[in-house]
Amino acid sequence: MIFIDACFGKETPYTPVWFMRQAGRYLSEYRETRKQAGDFLSLCKNPKLASEVTLQPIDILGVDAAILFSDILVVPMEMGMELGFFTGEGPKFTQTIQSDKDLKQLRQDSHLSLNYVYDTITMTRQKLAKDKALIGFCGAPWTLATYMIEGQGSKTYNQTKKILYSNAQFLHNLLELITHNLKNYLESQIKAGVNAVMIFDSWAAALEESAYLEFGFEYCKQIASFIKQKYPEIPVILFPKGISGYLDKIDGEFDVFGVDWSTPLKIAKEKLGDKYVLQGNLEPCRIYDEKSMLEGAKDILDLMQGKRHIFNLGHGMLPDLPRENAIKLVDFIHQYRF
Ligand code: 1CP
């Protein structure tokens, strides 16, 4: 698999490419399958339909890897938190985690209730071409903790940060519990058939450097080490979004560093390019305009020269991006010669 070879820094005939959130509302096929499922959570819990959606970008765009269709929030949900997805508002938990009593009620073994995810993986791996990789994923402990404490997405993360600065031990206890759940969850995904795993720390930039290293990145590293020690053949990708100010502090046992669009790729290459394969980092909004998109892609490819690089966006596809351009982008990357 070209994608897996690239994750380990091996030479490949072309730069492999996939897009974060490549399955989603910008595809009419996705909207149709979601309608069939009823709603977003029912789609996640229906292995046959979730597998269909996972495969759509492979057929439509021709990307080199599929990413499991699910959501990072199924883990807190199966730890015992009631979750709803509301149109226009996004995900919301009915209760939030505020006290030791709340913490005690959370399950340690949520991975035993996520069979719908593993069934989606097995079904998808059976249908996926042998040269295409299947990526499994989870949210990072810090990013999940923000949803569990705030109850929903947040602009300021003030409740989570209030706890961080006034009751650090409580936050560490929660992060440890989430980390424990995620290790077992990713291991179960690997046993079900994923070829690589990715940890999304989407809200890393909410924290100052010292706080992120202690409450965020440390737990990503623990999960990565756990996976690498047991499954050295499975690449681990970390995506801590928005931490370009202290890339020199990044270390740990993982294979690929996901570069977000706000980080100049040149700087990521200088600071991390020898230690990790880099994945990224086209600004997704460039896809609105073909010329801007191809210019941005060319700059990235010319900088990386087809070495130790996986092409991706610097964050997820947006619901109104034109699919025709996304198809052209994949072609452009596959045709590019250095
Ligand atoms: O159909 C819909 O309207 C629901 C939109 C949607 C989709 C398509 C949500 C709700 N989740 C997903 C799928 C999803 N989520 C994937 C599928 C695989 C793929 O990439 O194609 C993945 C990997 C995620 C991961 C995810 N969910 C993240 C981390 C990645 C990122 O984009 O930063 C986060 C933060 C979430 C939470 C979430 N789920 C959905 C929404 C709208 C949100 C964000 C809420 C917020 O703004 O806080």
What are the boundaries of each domain within the chain?
2-335
Q: Which residues form the catalytic set?
A: 21, 25, 34, 71, 147
Does residue 323 sit in helix, strand or coil? Answer: helix
Residues with C-beta less than 6 Å from any ligand 1 atom? 20-25, 34, 40, 67, 69, 71-73, 90-91, 137, 139, 153, 200, 202, 316
Residue in 52, 196, 87 with CA at minimum distance from that of residue 136:
196
What pLDDT shows up at residue 111? 98
DSSP 210: H
Cα–Cα distance for residue pair 292/87, rounded to 1 Å: 31
CA of 24 to the centre of ligand 1 (A): 9
Q: Which atom of ligand 1 is nearest to the CA of 241?
A: 33
What pLDDT shows up at residue 10? 98
Cα–Cα distance for residue pair 246/66, rounded to 1 Å: 30
Q: Is 196 annotated as a binding residue?
A: no
Low-confidence ranges of the chain (pLDDT < 70): none
Q: Any residues with CB less than 8 A from the CB of 338 and at least 6 apart, and which?
A: 301, 305, 306
CA of 5 to the centre of ligand 1 (A): 27
| Residue having the nearest C-alpha atom to atom 4 of ligand 1 | 40
Cα–Cα distance for residue pair 12/306, rounded to 1 Å: 8
What pLDDT shows up at residue 259? 98
Q: Is 21 annotated as a binding residue?
A: yes
pTM of the model: 0.97
What pLDDT shows up at residue 338? 87
Cα–Cα distance for residue pair 212/217, rounded to 1 Å: 6
The CATH code belonging to domain 2-335 is 3.20.20.210
CA of 12 to the centre of ligand 1 (A): 30
What pLDDT shows up at residue 86? 84
What pLDDT shows up at residue 158? 97
